[in-house]
Amino acid sequence: MKRSLFAVAALAATFTVGAIAQTSQPPSAPAPESAAHAPAPTGATKVAVIAFQPAVAATNEGRVAFEKIQQKFAPKQAELKAEDDQINSLKQQLQTDGTTLSADERAARLRTIDDKEKTLQRDAQNAQSDFQQAMTDAYQGIAQKFYAVLQDYAQTHGYGAVFDMSSQQTPVVWASKGADISAAVVEEYNQKSGIAAPAPAVQPASHTTPSATTHHRSTTTSH
């Protein structure tokens, strides 16, 4: 548990969680409409590809929603980090005092550490489950709306088929860069949603290294 508990990684809609476990793959693009409702072909068929899941995550709405979830779970992340630090401190103290402890005292400390580790594991798994569910719910809501925009875009630009190259179930072996409409659909979605991009994250101020005459330590922890 040395890494940050909740960290959104690459925009592949697999919102990874370091240290405890990885979130499962969010749902793929909604199933295409039935042939009965699909427009009849009108000649040569244009084909495009889209990285559907990363595109959903790249929309302004997706970025805002996922950032809010990150902020919501930040206190829990800090709480689990504090529990982990406490356990590491107890282990270090046990190692330091090991030769001076009686067998009973050593066994008691080991039980305390074991109990705290089990509690931390349970708390982390519950937090992971809640985090994953929140991410999946947010993704699904946006994905439905994004699919509607994708469908309109494909029909307007004369595409007869659009393949999702972010899904392992779609065997897109190769596609030219010009066939990838991901960025174009994201841009159109942003325009239709009217949601502004989230503000850039504020970078923490750099800390000055303490001089030799001071006894202060930086309390900044890495995530």
The pLDDT of residue 109 is 95
The pLDDT of residue 11 is 28
Instruction: Kindly state whether residue 157 falls inside one of the protein's structural domains.
Output: yes
The pLDDT of residue 173 is 83
Total domains, the chain:
1
Predicted TM-score (pTM) of this structure: 0.69
Q: Which stretches in the chain have pLDDT values below 50?
A: 1-27, 34-38, 40-41, 207-223
Cα distances from 197 to residues 16, 125, 183, in angstroms, run 22, 32, 15
The pLDDT of residue 182 is 96
**Cβ–Cβ under 8 Å, residues 48 and 179:** yes
The pLDDT of residue 101 is 92
Domain that holds residue 65: 46-193
Instruction: Kindly state whether residue 20 falls inside one of the protein's structural domains.
Output: no
Instruction: Kindly state whether residue 22 falls inside one of the protein's structural domains.
Output: no
The pLDDT of residue 22 is 33
Instruction: Kindly state whether residue 181 falls inside one of the protein's structural domains.
Output: yes
